[in-house]
Chains A and B, each alone.
Chain A
Amino acid sequence: MKKTFKNIETILNKSLNGIETFIQSHPKVNFLFGALFEATDGLIRSTKDTAKNPPYIRRGMDAKQYMGGILTALFFGWVVPAIYFYGFMCVVPKLIVSFVVGVFIIDVIWVILAREERINEGGFVTCLFIPAFLPPQAPLWLIGVGAGISILFRNILGGVGHNLVNPALFGRLLLTICFPTMVVSGWQEPSTGIPTIKSLMYGVDAVTHATPLMAFKETGKTASFLSLMFGANTGSLGETCRIALIITGIWLCVKRIANWRIPVAYLGSVFVLSAIFSLMVGKTAAPPIFQLLSGGLIFAAFFMATDPITTTYSQAGKWIFGIGCGLITVVIRNFTSIPEGIMYAILLMNLLSVPIQTIILKIKYRT
C-alpha cells in the first residue's frame, strides 16, 4: 500500500516537473496557462521557496491551511446539516454551480487575463457562503450570478488581502438590489425526525413559509427556541442549524482562525441591546434570545463578521467592530421594515473599520 502510494507519487511528481519545465520554456504557453498551472500545482505540492532571511525556519501554518480551516468549519457548520434538512439534491447542485461559476469560470478567466500568480483558495470560501444565505428554493442561476459577482468584485479590488468589504455579502447585496423578491421568498420547511433516503436526497415537499423573523414582524409570535437551535425551522439554507454553527464557530476560535472577540462582541451586544429595547418599547421589539437564535445572526457572527481582512487589525478595534454590528443589526431588525439587518450591519461596519482602525492607532501610539 505504502509502496504503491510512493510509486504514484514519484510518477506524479515527475510528470508535474515535466509540465513545469515545458510551460516555462515556451513563453506563449506560459503566458496563457502558466498561472493556471501554478495554481493547480499549488494545490498538490508544496512550494519550493525556502527562507532567505532570518528566521530560517517557519511555522507550518500557511494561508492554505488557514482557508482550509474555514472551509472545513463551513462544511460541517452548514453543508452537512443542510443536506439533512433540505436534501442532497437541494444543496449539492447549488454548491457545484457556485464553485463552477465562481472559482472555475470567473477566477480562472481572471487568472489568465490579469496574470495573477494563482487562484486563491479564498474563492472557495466566498463561493461556499453564497448558497448559505439564500433561501433553499433559490434558483440555481441566482446562485451562479451571486458567486460570479462576488468573485469578480473581490478580484477587482485585488484579491485576498485587499478587499474592503466582505465579497460574499457584497454579492448578496447586489442580488437583493437586482432581484428583491427572489432573495426573500422560496423558504422551505425542513425535514425533521429520522431521515429516510428520500428525505436525504430531496428533502420534504416544498412548503413555502415565512421565516421566524418575518413571522414575528407580522404576527408578533416567536418560534420555539429549541427548534431554532437545532434547525427545525425555516430560514436560509445555511443558517438554520445553529447548534452546528456554534460548535464549528467555537472550533474556529480555538484554532485562532476566527478571532473570538468578534462573535462575543457581536452576540453579546445584540443580546444586551435587544434586552434594553424590549424593556423600553415592550412587545414590538423581539426578545433577546429570540434575536440571537433567529435569522443568520449566529452564522454571520462566527463566519462572516470574523473575516479577518474586512475587520480592523487592532484587537481593540474588533470589540468596537462587533458591538457596532450588533447595534446596527438590532436597530434594523426592530425599527425598520426590513426583517433581517445582518447584511447591512456587517457591510457598513466593514467600511467603518477603516476609520476605526485609524482612530485606534492614533489613541494607542500618539498620545
Chain B
Amino acid sequence: MTKKAYKKGFNLIETYPVKFAKTIVFVKHNGPAVNYSFSFPDKKVEHIIVNLCPTEPWALPNRAILRNRTHDFLNKLETVREEYFPDSHCHVVVNHQESNLINELNQYKAGTDRIYPSTKEEYLHLHTMEPVYPYDAPVLIVKNILGLDIAFGQNTIEHSILLLDPQDVTGIFEHYIKKSEFNTRLIPISGTGLKDNKILKVKPGTPIKSMLELYVRTDIKYRVFLDGLLNGTEVKDLNQKINWSTKNIVVIEERDYKTPFHYIRTKELHFTTSLMGELRCCVYCNFCDDICPVNLEPALYWHCYDRGEKHKAHLYALEKCIECGLCSFTCPSKLELLQVIRECKLLK
C-alpha cells in the first residue's frame, strides 16, 4: 500500500528519541476554560485523513489516543463520518513498522461487527507511512495518499479534503454526538529542559506555566516552544494559555555559553538550542537540497537574499516550499534559510 510520492526528509525520531512516561497526568485548573468546538467545513467533504503516524518525536504518540482500544476509536471515526460527512472516504495513516496496529485495523475492516458496514464500496482505507519528518505535512500527506497537488498554505477543504486530528475524532464524537462533557486535551511535554517527559491531560485555557511548573529543571536555563521545534513558535510569555489546536510543548535547554572541547562532548549540546557551530558563508555542500522533501534548492534563495535580490528567489519555485525548516536544520554553515525563505515569500 505504500506508494511514495516524495522522498528525502529526515528521521527526527531516530535522532532525538523521546520517551514519554506511561501514565497520563491530569493538570488541575480552576480558572476559565474554553469549551470545545469544531468548525465544520461548509464544503462537502470527500476524503477524511486521520494521521496516526506522528513524524516528530515530541508529538503525541498514538498509543495515548488509542489506549489499546483501536476498535473503539475506529467506531467513533465511523460514527462521526456517518453523522457529519456521509459519502466520504476515511483514510487512516499508520506507521509502517507498527504491524500490530496494522493487523488490528485490517481485522476491524474485515470484521462483521462494524456499526456502519460499507455497503457499496469500502470507505475505510488503511495507509502506511514511514515516520520521517515532514511526511505528515498537509501538502505531502495529501500528495502521498490521494495523489493530489495542493499548494502550501492552501486550505485542504478547497479540494474537499479534511485533515482530522485524531483528538478531534474523539472530540466530535463526545461533544456533538454523545453530547457529553469533553473539555480536556492531551498535550505531550518533552525535552532536555524537563525532568521527565509527560503526557498531560489539560483543559484548554490553562496557562503553560501551570502545566510545566512541576516538571521543568530549575538548574538550567530553558526555552519553551509550541508545536514542535522545526517550524513551531517560541513561547515568550509563560502565562500564554493553550487552546484546542495546541499540539505539543517542547522545553529545551538554552545553551548560551561556550562549551570547551565540544567535539568530544556533542551529547551535551545535542537537543539544546545551541547552533552547534558558527555562522558561515554557504559552502555549497548540497546538504539542503538533499534533505528538502519537495526537491527545492534552498541555497539558491540564500544566494538571492545575500545579493539583495529577494524578488529573484521567486524564480526558483519558492512557492513550493512547505516551510518545514529542514534546510536550516541541516545547514553546516548555520544559515537561517527558513527565515530567508519566509522573508522572500513576503515579497510577492
8 A Cβ contacts from B256-290 to A? 256-263, 266, 269-287, 289-290
8 A Cβ contacts from B230-268 to A? 230-234, 252, 254-263, 266
Contact with B along A12-42 (1 / 0, CB 8 A): 1100110000000000000000000000011
Tell me which residues across on chain A come within 8 A of B326, comparing CB atoms.
Answer: 55
Partner of A66, one of B270, B289, B332: B332
Residue of A at shortest CB range from B192?
Answer: A57
Check A56–B279 contact: CB distance below 8 A. no
Check B338–A58 contact: CB distance below 8 A. no
Partner of B286, one of A9, A13, A313: A313
Check A62–B258 contact: CB distance below 8 A. no
Tell me which residues across on chain A come within 8 A of B278, comparing CB atoms.
Answer: 42, 47, 49, 62-63, 118
| Assembled-state Cα–Cα distance A134/B276 (Å) | 37
Tell me if B225 is interfacial: C-beta within 8 Å of chain A: yes
Given A59-B329, A308-B284, A313-B297: A49 touches B339 (CB 8 Å cut-off): no
| Assembled-state Cα–Cα distance A62/B229 (Å) | 19
Max chain B Cβ within 10 angstroms of own Cβ: one of A12, A45, A160, A313: A313
Check A56–B270 contact: CB distance below 8 A. no
Tell me which residues across on chain A come within 8 A of B277, comparing CB atoms.
Answer: 46-47, 58, 61-65
Given A62-B276, A256-B287: A46 touches B262 (CB 8 Å cut-off): yes
Check B286–A57 contact: CB distance below 8 A. no
Tell me if A162 is interfacial: C-beta within 8 Å of chain B: yes
Check B259–A45 contact: CB distance below 8 A. yes
| Assembled-state Cα–Cα distance A64/B271 (Å) | 19
Tell me if A54 is interfacial: C-beta within 8 Å of chain B: yes
Check B258–A365 contact: CB distance below 8 A. no
| Assembled-state Cα–Cα distance A159/B283 (Å) | 11
Tell me which residues across on chain B come within 8 A of A55, comparing CB atoms.
Answer: 229-231, 325-326, 328-329, 338
Tell me which residues across on chain B come within 8 A of A118, comparing CB atoms.
Answer: 278
For the complex formed, measure the closest distance between the CB of A110 and the CB atoms of chain B, giving whole angstroms.
16
| Assembled-state Cα–Cα distance A160/B279 (Å) | 12
Max chain B Cβ within 10 angstroms of own Cβ: one of A16, A47, A361: A47
Tell me which residues across on chain B come within 8 A of A366, comparing CB atoms.
Answer: 315
| Assembled-state Cα–Cα distance A12/B289 (Å) | 40
Given A50-B274, A314-B297: A259 touches B286 (CB 8 Å cut-off): yes
Residue of A at shortest CB range from B255?
Answer: A50
Tell me which residues across on chain B come within 8 A of A308, comparing CB atoms.
Answer: 283-286
Tell me which residues across on chain B come within 8 A of A45, comparing CB atoms.
Answer: 258-262
For the complex formed, measure the closest distance between the CB of B276 and the CB atoms of chain A, giving whole angstroms.
5
Tell me if A309 is interfacial: C-beta within 8 Å of chain B: yes
* Total A-B Cβ pairs within 8 A: 168
Tell me if B316 is interfacial: C-beta within 8 Å of chain A: yes
Max chain B Cβ within 10 angstroms of own Cβ: one of A50, A65, A257, A315: A50
Contact with A along B213-232 (1 / 0, CB 8 A): 00000000001010001111
Check B286–A63 contact: CB distance below 8 A. no
| Assembled-state Cα–Cα distance A12/B258 (Å) | 12
Tell me which residues across on chain B come within 8 A of A12, comparing CB atoms.
Answer: 260
Check B332–A61 contact: CB distance below 8 A. yes
Tell me if A178 is interfacial: C-beta within 8 Å of chain B: no
Check A9–B256 contact: CB distance below 8 A. no
Tell me if A161 is interfacial: C-beta within 8 Å of chain B: yes
Tell me which residues across on chain B come within 8 A of A159, comparing CB atoms.
Answer: 281
Given A46-B262, A49-B275: A56 touches B225 (CB 8 Å cut-off): yes
Tell me if A363 is interfacial: C-beta within 8 Å of chain B: no
Residue of A at shortest CB range from B273?
Answer: A50
For the complex formed, measure the closest distance between the CB of B340 and the CB atoms of chain A, giving whole angstroms.
10
Tell me which residues across on chain A come within 8 A of B333, comparing CB atoms.
Answer: 62-63, 161
Tell me if B26 is interfacial: C-beta within 8 Å of chain A: no
Tell me which residues across on chain A come within 8 A of B274, comparing CB atoms.
Answer: 46-47, 49-51, 58
Check B283–A160 contact: CB distance below 8 A. yes
**Would you give 20 A-B contacts (Cβ < 8 Å), ordered by A?**
A13-B260, A45-B261, A50-B255, A50-B275, A51-B273, A53-B336, A56-B229, A56-B232, A57-B16, A57-B229, A57-B329, A63-B277, A158-B281, A161-B282, A256-B286, A256-B290, A309-B284, A313-B299, A361-B315, A361-B316
- Report which B residues bind A (CB closer than 8 A): 16, 223, 225, 229-234, 252, 254-263, 266, 269-287, 289-290, 297, 299-300, 315-317, 325-326, 328-334, 336, 338-339
Q: Which 10 A-B pairs have the closest CB atoms?
A: A62-B277, A161-B281, A46-B262, A55-B325, A45-B258, A50-B273, A55-B230, A308-B284, A49-B275, A53-B339
Instruction: Give 16 new A-B contacts, CB below 8 A, not counting A50-B274, A161-B284, A361-B300.
Output: A45-B260, A45-B261, A47-B277, A47-B278, A51-B275, A53-B338, A55-B325, A56-B232, A57-B16, A57-B271, A62-B334, A63-B277, A65-B263, A66-B332, A161-B280, A309-B283
